[in-house]
Copies of this chain bind each other. A is one copy, B any other.
């Protein structure tokens, strides 16, 4: 079974943007650099306003099945959180595509560490948008 991940690019998060953000709802502008080898796969992405970005949570060293989220005081199951410390350390975020320039994408809303390895880019489609949702323990916290 082919299960080894490979980096297809790098996510650059300018430090000044992170500092300027301050409050929790501030939105980060990041640059996604897709390695030249994979650039042809970006054809047509500029038609989409939003993309689903998969990346390696490379700073995560271990995980436990119960985590205390930043927004809560109670231990929650890791699969009921977006904690970076999980059995497979893959992060998923929806971002707004602001600009494409060759193998570089400027995006909004990617809450990742600088130099994060990029794993995949997928178009955000109506199937990803759910109208009425219940958000369990997060209710009232975000």
Contact = CB atoms under 8 A, between A and B. Distances in A.
Contacts of A125: 82, 133, 135, 138, 142
A119 to B, nearest CB: 5
Contacts of A66: 40-41, 43
Contacts of A43: 65-66, 75-77, 80
A80 B4 contact: no
A87 interface: yes
A107 to B, nearest CB: 13
Nearest to A60: B2
Nearest to A75: B43
A22 interface: no
A119 B88 CA distance: 6
B142 A52 contact: no
B136 A90 contact: no
Interface of A: 1-6, 8, 34, 38, 40-52, 54, 56, 58, 65-66, 75-82, 86-90, 92-94, 96, 109, 117, 119-139, 142
The 3 closest A-B pairs by CB, nearest first: A47-B136, A43-B77, A44-B80
